[in-house]
Structure 1
Amino acid sequence: MEWQFFLEVLVGGLLAGVMYSLVALGFVLIYKASGVFNFAQGAMVLFAALSFVSIQAMGVPFWLALLLTLALMVLLGVGIERVVLRPLVNQPPITLFMATIGLSFFLEGLAQMVWGTDVHGLELGIADEPFDVGGVFISKFDLFAAAVGGTLVALLALFFSKTKLGRALRAVADDHQAAMSVGIPLKHIWAIVWGVAGFVALVAGLLWGSRLGVQFALTLVVLKALPVLILGGFTSVPGAIIGGLIIGAGEKLAEVYLGPFVGGGIENWFPYMLALLFLLVRPEGLFGEKHIERV
């Protein structure tokens, strides 16, 4: 039936949107705490997926490989903050942004040098097959990915709102100087945020690597996170998930219902057109903070 087909497309888009949100979440965490737009997040996703499959290929059991990769990504995140960004504190935002672009190319080259350039399959034990829910067929893998993404977002939201460290992170995000004046160790906070961003990159890398295969094209996933950030806001964890749902559902519906009228490939550019239109109405995003300048 027509309504069942519409629901299948809509639900499929919403679940795919959660996958986009996972990548956007890494951007939000770092930007929220330090004001740095981390262009290297896509390279971190690739590095995490490639590290996991390479460690597992050595005969290491799944859960041990997962723990080893998690430790590696946390150390990578903390190391990036310590070696690359800490020396650039108080530099103009464009300087920090360019540093993350250089970091992106460095991580891609490092991954290629250490792990090679072969395309790897990644199996999480969740079959990508349809699951019948009241006559609507939904991918089991998409449901699994959505559950993982939703759980991660909920845990991070609770972390920011309920824990002492989370409140310190929010204070740093609001005003660096004020946070330092009340004794919050700014450098430690940034190191923790980058470590958490490494963990988020691992989760996104495993899910996207299982869906697309572990290959260097994974770094392009970062491009789909940009319209998600524009819609949800660069500093909002819930905004990352809401923006992802809107982009995911929008591109799937556009592909099915508008694609035949405008030619193929609409899903590749429709999210950016939607983000551009949104910028004209609410440039700070749905959950972003409004900036008022008085002159």
Structure 2
Amino acid sequence: MELLYNIFVGPFAEMARAPDLLVQTLWEGLVSGVLYALIALGFVLIFKASGVFNFAQGIMVVFAGLTLVGLYEAGVPAFLALLITIGVMFALAVCIERAVLRPLVNQPDIILFMATFGLTYFLIGFGELVFGGNPKVMIADELYLPKGAVDLPMFGGLVSLQKIDIAAAVIASAMVAGLAVFFQKTRIGRALRAVADSHKAALSVGISLNQIWVIVWFTAGIVALATGIMWGARSDVSFALQIIALKALPVLILGGFTSVPGAIVGGLIIGIGEKLGEFYFAPAILGSALGRGVESWLAYFIALAFLLFRPQGLFGEKIIERI
């Protein structure tokens, strides 16, 4: 009975006792969820273009952030460094298309997937060679990202909203919405979906795989840069940041690997679910000592449970193969 109370009654009673803390928790979960959705969007774009999970997206987030900070430390003005970093991500997209993707056209998906593994470790080694292995501080002030907090009186208490979190939520939401419209409503978006369905069919109707792959990987690089700036502003830019980027995997499982709206909804579910679990459910079930570390694995548990009921994701298409 005590366990049932801790699961179904205790957390909700705690929410009712301190509604201001609940709003604070929901806000933090919302911000994390939007950033998770932004990370997941990079994975979705690559998957829609090649049908393979891009394991290198996490290290692309780190590489973009390190390039920006490294250029600034070398004496390049902040906004010029930002433009050069965008150019670097375009050059990276071209190199990936020519050196990795072009030789592997029409190869099995597992070959492309393993190629992204190789790309990951190449970027790790190259990044450490050029920028070193020490964490770096994101140039948030130089990019005029806001500092401080906004305190809102609410439900007899105060809800504190960090200005950097507000900016991150707004920028990430705008990018996700813009890219969703671009890839759903434009000719490039239709070509991308055709490439995802069949490389041979896309080539037969005159779609250039090379151009589509460069566009998509460059777009994923811009998403990685925005993610690196936002996450780096909340913490240091280091190679450990790629672990956070892999939180996109449970987001994709929930939303579907080919759905931009799914990335948004999945990100919000994981972000808010993590925070509610961290502050309410895990301490009530596991106790205060064990419950506070649940945020590192709860997203994967939610995804695993979700796979049992809808393996294709909320917005994914159920694929039926006839034998």
**Interval of TM-score (by shorter of Structure 1 and Structure 2):** over 0.9
Matched, 1:107 2:123: yes
Q: Is the 8 A contact 1:251 1:271 kept in 2?
A: yes
Q: Comparing 119-128 with 22-31, which one deviates more in the overlay? A: 119-128
User: Deviation at 1:127?
Assistant: 4.5
User: 1:139-154 alignment to 2 at 5 Å?
Assistant: 139-154=162-177
The amino acid of 1:215's aligned partner reads: S
The amino acid of 1:291's aligned partner reads: I
User: Deviation at 1:129?
Assistant: 3.6
Measured against aligned partners, the alpha-carbon deviations of 1:117-157 in whole angstroms (never above 9, x if no partner) come to: 22211132334543234523222211111111111111111
Q: Comparing 259-268 with 150-159, which one deviates more in the overlay? A: 259-268
User: Larger C-alpha radius of gyration, 1 or 2?
Assistant: 2
Aligned to 2:294: 266
User: 1:231-246 alignment to 2 at 5 Å?
Assistant: 231-246=254-269
Measured against aligned partners, the alpha-carbon deviations of 1:209-267 in whole angstroms (never above 9, x if no partner) come to: 11120111111122211101101111111111111110000000000002323113111
Distance in 2 of aligned mates of 1:238 and 1:62: 33
Q: Is the 8 A contact 2:69 2:139 kept in 1?
A: no
Aligned to 2:223: 200
**Which of these residues, 23, 29, 36, is aligned with residue 39 of structure 2?**
23
Q: Is the 8 A contact 2:146 2:167 kept in 1?
A: no
Measured against aligned partners, the alpha-carbon deviations of 1:27-85 in whole angstroms (never above 9, x if no partner) come to: 10000111121101111111100000010112211110100001101111221121012
- The 1:213–1:32 alpha-carbon spacing in structure 2 relative to 1, beyond 3 Å, is same
Q: Is the 8 A contact 1:82 1:191 kept in 2?
A: no
Matched, 1:59 2:75: yes
Distance in 2 of aligned mates of 1:284 and 1:129: 41
- The 1:131–1:271 alpha-carbon spacing in structure 2 relative to 1, beyond 3 Å, is same
Distance in 1 of aligned mates of 2:223 and 2:94: 13
Distance in 2 of aligned mates of 1:168 and 1:223: 27
Measured against aligned partners, the alpha-carbon deviations of 1:167-213 in whole angstroms (never above 9, x if no partner) come to: 22122223333322221112211121111111111111111111120
**Which 5+ residue runs of structure 2 have no aligned equivalent?**
1-16
User: 1:1-295 alignment to 2 at 5 Å?
Assistant: 2-125=18-141, 126-127=145-146, 129-135=148-154, 136-260=159-283, 261-262=285-286, 263=290, 264-295=292-323
SS in 2 for 1:132: strand
**Which 5+ residue runs of structure 1 have no aligned equivalent?**
none
User: Deviation at 1:285?
Assistant: 0.7
TM-score, scaled relative to structure 1: 0.95
TM-score, scaled relative to structure 2: 0.87
Q: Report percent identity of matched pairs.
A: 57
Give the alignment's Cα RMSD to 1 decimal: 1.5
SS in 2 for 1:258: helix
SS in 1 for 2:297: helix
